[in-house]
Amino acid sequence: NAGVTQTPKFRVLKTGQSMTLLCAQDMNHEYMYWYRQDPGMGLRLIHYSVGEGTTAKGEVPDGYNVSRLKKQNFLLGLESAAPSQTSVYFCASSYLGGYSRTSGSSYNEQFFGPGTRLTVL
Amino acid sequence: SQQGEEDPQALSIQEGENATMNCSYKTSINNLQWYRQNSGRGLVHLILIRSNEREKHSGRLRVTLDTSKKSSSLLITASRAADTASYFCATVETGANNLFFGTGTRLTVIP
């Protein structure tokens, strides 16, 4: 049981380049999230998904797109990277619908991946 | 804007001492959660307290919630060097599913 995994771990881009960050979870969670973490800012929600085929904007969605074609995967895309997108990106997932005796998780508890450190030059 | 604001921003204590971190938030919430982040790693869920609960314990952790003051505290008793990490509170607004994270408290436990 790998939990939440993220690919890649590190990446350096030039301004204007594009890339896709991949998040995968094997816990059969309905909800998935993408956050960015900047020094002194805590985590800010970029986009999230409440189920396969659905996505929604979070607090800081501009410059990013997402897709949830499969329940276990959530992709974050940067079409034209900018230096302001230099950050650490975290993916998370959560169980929907209350306490799960199987997983031991509680409503809205989020499970995080290890992060992707992205630098845009 | 973020829901939670932690206080203090940084805390340094000796091993064996207790550490207390506070969190204030702005709107009505469904629940409040605390997470730990070790340097260079993802966040790990510690404890969740619902809006109708006032206190909750988990091992060496004690969380309180005062909805009238819109504040919560996290107490770590008998701290260990391994507790060195950043601690974040996160709130779920009433009727919502998303978490809003605070800016975190950086805890250093000196052996």
pLDDT of residue A107: 62
B97 phi/psi in degrees, rounded to 5? -120, -10
Chain B residues touching chain A at CB-CB below 8 Å? 2, 4, 30-31, 33, 35, 40-45, 48, 88, 90, 92, 97-104
pLDDT of residue B3: 60
Whether pLDDT at A104 is above 70: no
What are the tokens at A93?
Answer: 């997932």
Is residue A109 a contact partner of residue B48, using CB atoms and an 8 Å limit? yes
What percentage of chain A carries pLDDT values higher than 70? 90
Is residue A64 left, alpha or beta, with left meaning phi > 0 and alpha meaning psi from -120 to 50?
beta
Whether pLDDT at A88 is above 80: yes
pLDDT of residue B95: 67
- Over residues A29-55, the mean pLDDT reads 91
Residue of A nearest to B2 (CA): A44
The stretches of chain A forming alpha helices (DSSP H) are none
Contacts of B40 (CB under 8 A, 6+ apart): A115
- Give, for all 111 residues of chain B, the pLDDT tens digit: 556 788 899 999 999 999 999 999 998 888 899 999 999 899 999 999 988 899 999 999 999 999 999 999 999 999 999 999 999 999 887 766 678 899 899 999 999
CA gap A35, A44 in Å, rounded: 5
pLDDT of residue B2: 52
Provide the pLDDT confidence category of residue A41 given band limits of 50, 70 and 90.
Answer: confident
Whether pLDDT at A97 is above 50: no
Whether pLDDT at A96 is above 80: no
Residue written as token pair 């006032």: B54
For chain B, say whether A89 makes contact (Cβ under 8 Å).
no
User: Which of B2, B30, B45 is opposite residue A109, by nearest beta carbon?
Assistant: B45
- Per DSSP (E only), the strands in chain B are 5-7, 10-14, 19-24, 29-37, 43-50, 55-58, 61-66, 71-76, 85-93, 99-101, 105-110
Beta bridge partners of A91: A34
Instruction: Measure B47 CA to nearest chain A CA, in Å.
Output: 9
pLDDT of residue A108: 72
What are the tokens at B49?
Answer: 């307290």
Provide the pLDDT confidence category of residue A40 given band limits of 50, 70 and 90.
Answer: confident
- Over residues A59-63, the mean pLDDT reads 94
CA gap A71, A26 in Å, rounded: 9
Which of A10-24, A37-51, B65-79 has the least mean pLDDT?
A37-51
Instruction: Measure B78 CA to nearest chain A CA, in Å.
Output: 26
For chain B, say whether A115 makes contact (Cβ under 8 Å).
yes
Instruction: Measure B31 CA to nearest chain A CA, in Å.
Output: 9
